[in-house]
Amino acid sequence: MRESLDELAELANTAGGQVVGDGLQKLASPCAATFIGKGKAAEFALHCRQADVDTVIFDDELSPAQSRNLERVFNCKVLDRTSLILDIFAQRARTREGKLQIELAQLQHLLPRLTRFWGHLSRQKGGIGMRGGEGETQLETDRRRVQDRIARISKDLEVVRRQRSTQRQSRQRNHWALASIVGYTNAGKSTLLNKLTGAAVLVEDKLFATLDPATRRLRLPTNQNVLLTDTVGFIRKLPHGLVEAFKATLEEVVQTDLLVHVVDASHPQAEEQMQAVDAVLREIGAEGKPTLMVFNKIDQLNGNNNVLSGFLERHPHGVAISATSGEGIPALLQQLSSQLRPIREFMEFSVPHDRTGVIARLHEVGQVVERNYNGKTARFKARIPPHLREEFAPFMVRELQTA
Ligand SMILES: Nc1nc2c(ncn2[C@@H]2O[C@H](COP(=O)(O)OP(=O)(O)OP(=O)(O)O)[C@@H](O)[C@H]2O)c(=O)[nH]1
Ligand SMILES: [Mg+2]
């Protein structure tokens, strides 16, 4: 499919490669030995020799045998979409956990594919894949080293994950609502987080600019605090091994109160991208989560408003925004406030003036909408998480109607 191939070229550029040509072949079913047909393979081989190509990338996942055979035919390295995505992730991982996760996914993908062209495991900066060329003799040692490394990383990851889960628990103690920004890569997720919270997350017109999750606090117009997390973008045919490796990170997505699904409404494949995101959400067990649809980049629609109205018709609670110009952001904040509200209980409290601890705590965990310090006791109207009801029960005057 043409669009997928164009996206593959974008991925190759992102990985530091330079695309010198491409080709498509329609087959009823892939050829067992070489994926593409024999004649086509020979044609590409000639092209590779003429253009001095050092890597051929396939848009679909190749079996280890297919990659090996193709490397022989082309006499150069063969990558598939999966290894390319893994490679980009490897270049971009910053945190220890991110690096470990990606290395694990990479090694697991690499192990059955170790061939002469992958050579030994020294990584070349800026290039694609793990390059080398020390020949067959290195192979057996490499396989053993890879296996040892996989075992080692799995152990390290376990430790990091335990720390992460502790962090999460302490965050939950704060009882702030949690929302995760999800969406196709390059949809504008980080731009939106930056716009909303003044964060300085890297924004780039590249695929997978963000890899490690960033969480910032956002105070809604209703005074409610939300922890907003921006995380890795999704893509169609996201390697399963990668989803597996990133499960721990993505678990945060599953455990939030609300998903904010950002769509690049100006992208010709916006609909397919939304479906790809939904597919990944299903895979990580986040389907059916309350979701706020956000149609971004409306400044780029160039009057093509039919598309947008189509989206909004199908997603009546969705909002149209431009994360760069700020258009639609107030409406987005409103939606966030109203979608996050149901998990709070709205009550009136009366607290003696000298119980400063209680007053402080109420402001910390609750969303204080009205305060009055003039009477004999301090009076508050506030929304609090249901499970904290008991803690504040001694000070509760009455329940209020949730608007
Ligand atoms: N015109 C326009 N461009 C936007 C808008 N929002 C984001 N962009 C651009 O889209 C590109 C991608 O933005 P990011 O915020 O990095 O996208 P992301 O979803 O975080 O991407 P990944 O982290 O790579 O998954 C950048 O070049 C942004 O400047 C918008 O509302 N309008
Ligand atoms: Mg990003």
Closest CA to 146 of 96, 90, 108: 108
Give the span between the Cα atoms of 53 and 39, in whole angstroms.
19
Ligand nearest to C-alpha 332: 1
Answer yes or no: are the C-beta atoms of 82 and 112 closer than 8 Å: no
pLDDT of residue 237: 77
Mean per-residue pLDDT, 375-394: 89
Give the number of the ligand closest to the Cα of residue 204: 1
State if residue 392 touches ligand 1 by the CB under 6 angstroms criterion. Answer: no
Average pLDDT over residues 123-128: 43
pLDDT of residue 123: 40
- Predicted TM-score of the model (pTM): 0.76
Looking at the DSSP bridge assignments, the partners of residue 57 are 79
Two tokens, residue 295 = 């149609």
Furthest CA-CA distance within the chain: 90
Q: Kindly state the DSSP code that residue 221 receives in the 8-state scheme.
A: T
- Averaged over 378-387, what is the pLDDT? 87
Written as six digits, the tokens of 52 are: 């001095």
Q: CB neighbours of 338 closer than 8 A, spacing ≥ 6?
A: none
Q: Taking 50 as the threshold, does the pLDDT of residue 134 lie above it?
A: no
How confident is the model at residue 226, as a pLDDT? 87
Q: What is the pLDDT of residue 193?
A: 94
Helix (H, G, I), strand (E, B) or coil at 5: helix
Per-residue pLDDT at 133: 44
Are 77 and 118 a contacting pair, CB within 8 Å?
Answer: yes
Residue 199 pLDDT greater than 90, yes or no = no
Residue type, 18: Q
Residue with tokens 């082309």: 74
- What percentage of the chain reaches a pLDDT higher than 70? 90
| Ligand that comes closest to the CA of residue 189 | 1
Residues in a beta bridge with 75: none
pLDDT tens-digit series, residues 5-47: 999 999 998 888 899 989 889 989 999 899 999 999 999 999 9
213 within ligand 1 shell (Cβ under 6 A)? no
Rounded distance from Cα 86 to ligand 1 centre (Å): 21
- Separation CA 137–CA 127 (nearest Å): 24
Q: Is the CB of 208 under 6 A from ligand 1?
A: yes
Taking the C-alpha atoms of residue 402 and residue 346, their distance in angstroms, rounded to an integer, is 6
What is the per-residue pLDDT across 144-184, written as a single tens digit (0 to 9) for each?
A: 888 899 899 889 888 887 877 777 666 655 567 889 999 99
Mark out the alpha helices in 199-352 (DSSP H runs). 240-245, 247-254, 270-283, 305-314, 329-340
State whether the beta carbon of 231 lies less than 6 angstroms from ligand 1. no
Residue 126, judged by CB atoms within 10 A of its CB (0-12, 13-18, 19+), counts as exposed
Read off the pLDDT band of 137 (50, 70, 90): low
Instruction: Give residue-wise pLDDT tens across range 340-370.
Output: 866 678 899 999 999 999 999 888 778 788 8
Could you tell me which of 198, 205, 197 has the C-alpha nearest to residue 297? 205
Amino acid in the structure at residue 21: G
Ligand 1 contacts CB of residue 100 (under 6 A): no
pLDDT at residue 176, as a whole number: 73
Separation of alpha carbons 278 and 183, rounded Å: 9
Q: What pLDDT is attached to residue 116?
A: 57
382 alpha carbon – ligand 2 mean position (Å): 34
SS3 sequence of 65-129: HHHHHHHHHHCCEEEEHHHHHHHHHHHHCCCHHHHHHHHHHHHHHHHHHCCCCCCCCCCCCCCCC
CA-to-CA separations, 11 to 60, 86, 268, 286, in angstroms, rounded: 13, 11, 17, 26
The dihedral over CA atoms of 38, 40, 41, 44, expressed in degrees to the nearest 10, equals 160
Q: Is the pLDDT reported for residue 52 higher than 70?
A: yes
Strand partners, 215: 229
Place of tokens 């590409």: 44
pLDDT digit string, tens, across residues 270-317: 999 999 999 988 888 888 888 999 999 999 998 778 889 999 999 989
Question: Is 11's C-beta closer than 6 angstroms to any atom of ligand 1?
Answer: no
Q: Name the closest-CA residue to atom 14, ligand 1.
A: 188
Q: What is the mean pLDDT of the chain?
A: 84
